[in-house]
């Protein structure tokens, strides 16, 4: 059986173009070596077909039975990455092929690289496909909702093993270029099937790769080759716009550079982009603005639950200068009426989440005003989802959420199913240790609907979308009220004074 699975794996690699005709024997020998097999029994699989997940699962079962690995998610992931690395071209070949295609068009280059990242199992399509995804209508446009299941759930034993594993400073983090080809360990994923494309933005060496979890189409990560902290400044705006010049079919954005309003990795400068148009990008300008000295740049406040200034023009250098002027003013700006304080006790609070894209020949940038102040009433952040929404979303509101895609915790998949059963049976949610956190939320909408077996799950998904709209509203520094709009315009006046 194992020899048939090996042949099927090699056939998969040949069929999707990872290897060429004539490479099969070399690849089989490499796999035999990994599996500690001394001989090979040939077999005909030309008329057989299995999914990559099925093939790898069978080989991993064999490896576990033979004691080559422990039968845990972590060990299986480390081992199947080693298997797939057999088929992945060397980094220099991938880079050469990418830039050869890039001369024809950036789209052809990214199409090749994205296919390679999927076919090599660096992006585990079979896991990504399990994510729950749906659309949610809102007054701000159609929001994207996803319950992320791509990251494998680890057992308590694996978590303990990772904690006890020897700590290493190599690679320094998950974004460092040293991850390319890295074998991994119990507390760091294997990346032997991973390849990085070198690019230059703002005169510096950066890397371009795809996210293994692809929250949206062609979700890419662009990172500084040096392990330096996130920093939003004039140079960051230049880098973002440089990227859109290289890849005009992709948007690119950066998480903010402060805790609470930033992303999960603040220690390594990086951006995220992709080939997808989020609701925020589609949202219109609702209040036109003019900034002194930048009359050639189209500006306005975006109709969005968060506080967004959009600037657009033909010269990227002009956008860089204006974005820097707005950021500089915002860094030092306070408005007690709107509970905006630039700093407290020496700790800075104001920053922006910038997103850049092309609009034909024009460059466009959205600057989302952020503030990470905390209080006793709101210890996780005043401009952060408040406690009444934590049953759905408690985590930081980073770049992806800011643009209109809710990345919700995996626990919600089971909880949606359990809530459906409880609602239909009339169970008391407050007596359920898992579902009790949802009781007040369900009470807030249950009288609006007549629940049936057919519609209950869709109702829950609709209401989750409504919660996400509120999450974004909580994260907005200027609320969508007359007082909020007046406050927003006071800040614009402050920028024009500079």
* 3 state SS for 91-105: HHHHHHHHHHHHHHC
* CA trace torsion 463, 465, 469, 475 (10° rounding): 110
Angle between helices 2-15 and 52-65 (to 10 degrees): 150
Site of tokens 């290897």: 19
Residue 166 is predicted with a pLDDT of 58
Residue 162 is predicted with a pLDDT of 47
* Residues present in the chain in total: 498
Residue 498 is predicted with a pLDDT of 80
Residue 266 is predicted with a pLDDT of 87
User: Digits of tens for pLDDT over the chain (498 positions)?
Assistant: 899 999 999 999 999 999 999 999 999 999 999 999 999 999 999 999 999 999 999 999 999 999 999 999 999 999 999 999 999 999 999 999 999 999 999 999 999 999 999 999 999 999 999 999 999 999 999 999 999 887 655 455 544 554 455 556 899 999 999 999 999 999 899 999 999 999 999 999 999 999 999 999 999 999 999 999 999 999 999 999 999 999 999 999 999 999 999 877 889 999 999 999 999 999 999 999 999 999 999 999 999 999 999 999 999 999 999 999 999 999 999 999 999 999 999 999 999 999 999 999 999 999 999 999 999 999 999 999 999 999 999 988 999 999 999 999 899 999 999 999 999 999 999 999 999 999 999 999 999 999 999 999 999 999 999 999 999 999 999 999 999 999 999 999 999 998
Q: What are 131's two structure tokens?
A: 């994510």
3-state DSSP assignment of residue 139: coil
Q: Please enumerate, as own/partner, the contacts of 97-106 that have beta carbons within 8 Å and a separation of 24 or more.
A: 98/197, 106/246, 106/247, 106/248, 106/249
How far from 288 is each of 180, 301, 398, 404, CA to CA, in Å?
46, 6, 26, 22
Residue 265 is predicted with a pLDDT of 83
Report d(CA 330, CA 437) in Å as an integer.
Answer: 37
Judge contact between 328 and 424, C-beta under 8 A.
no
How far from 356 is each of 1, 117, 200, 438, CA to CA, in Å?
52, 24, 17, 37
Extended beta strands in 220-261, E state: 220-224, 251-253
Q: Please enumerate, as own/partner, the contacts of 442-448 that have beta carbons within 8 Å and a separation of 24 or more.
A: none
Report d(CA 280, CA 304) in Å as an integer.
Answer: 7
């Amino acid at each position: 059986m194992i020899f048939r699975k090996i042949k099927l794996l090699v056939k998969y690699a040949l069929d999707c173009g990872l290897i060429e005709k004539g490479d099969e024997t070399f690849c089989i020998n490499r796999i035999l070596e990994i599996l500690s097999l001394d001989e090979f029994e040939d077999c005909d699989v030309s008329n057989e077909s299995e999914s990559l997940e099925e093939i790898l699962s069978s080989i991993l079962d064999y490896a576990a039975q033979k004691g080559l690995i422990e039968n845990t998610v972590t060990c299986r992931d480390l081992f199947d990455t080693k298997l797939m690395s057999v088929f992945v071209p060397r980094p220099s070949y991938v880079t050469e092929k990418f830039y050869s295609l890039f001369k024809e068009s950036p789209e052809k280059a990214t199409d090749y690289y994205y296919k390679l990242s999927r076919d090599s199992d660096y992006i585990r399509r079979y896991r990504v496909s399990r994510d729950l995804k749906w659309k949610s209508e809102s007054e701000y446009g159609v929001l994207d909702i996803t319950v992320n299941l791509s990251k494998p759930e680890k057992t308590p034993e694996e978590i303990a093993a990772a904690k006890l594993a020897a700590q290493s400073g190599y690679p320094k983090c998950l974004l460092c270029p040293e991850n390319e080809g890295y074998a991994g360990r119990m507390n760091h994923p294997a990346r032997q099937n991973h390849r990085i494309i070198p690019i230059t933005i703002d005169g510096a060496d950066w890397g371009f790769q795809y996210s293994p979890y692809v929250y949206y189409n062609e979700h890419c990560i662009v990172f500084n080759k040096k392990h330096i902290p996130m920093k939003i400044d004039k140079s960051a705006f230049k880098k973002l716009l440089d990227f859109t010049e290289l890849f005009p079919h992709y948007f690119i954005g950066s998480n903010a550079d402060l805790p609470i309003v930033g992303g999960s990795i603040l220690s390594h400068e990086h951006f995220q982009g992709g080939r997808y148009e989020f609701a925020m990008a589609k949202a219109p300008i609702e209040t036109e603005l003019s900034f002194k000295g930048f009359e050639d740049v189209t500006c306005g406040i975006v109709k969005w639950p968060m506080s967004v200034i959009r600037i657009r023009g033909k010269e990227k250098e002009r956008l860089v200068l204006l974005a820097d002027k707005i950021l500089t003013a915002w860094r030092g700006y306070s408005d007690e009426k709107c509970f905006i304080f630039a700093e407290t006790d020496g700790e800075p609070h104001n920053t922006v989440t910038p997103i850049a894209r092309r609009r034909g020949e024009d460059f466009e940038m959205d600057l989302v005003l952020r503030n990470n102040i905390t209080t006793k009433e709101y210890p996780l952040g005043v401009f952060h989802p408040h406690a009444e929404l934590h049953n759905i979303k408690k985590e930081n509101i980073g770049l992806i959420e800011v643009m209109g895609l809710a990345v919700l915790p995996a626990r919600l998949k089971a909880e949606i199913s359990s809530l459906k059963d409880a609602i239909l049976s009339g169970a008391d949610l407050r007596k359920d240790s898992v579902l009790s956190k949802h009781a007040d939320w369900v009470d807030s909408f249950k009288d609006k609907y007549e629940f049936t077996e057919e519609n209950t799950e869709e109702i829950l998904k609709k209401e989750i979308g409504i919660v996400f709209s509120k999450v974004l509203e909580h994260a907005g520094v200027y609320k969508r009220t007359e007082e909020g709009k007046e406050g927003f315009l006071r800040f614009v006046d402050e920028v024009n004074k500079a």
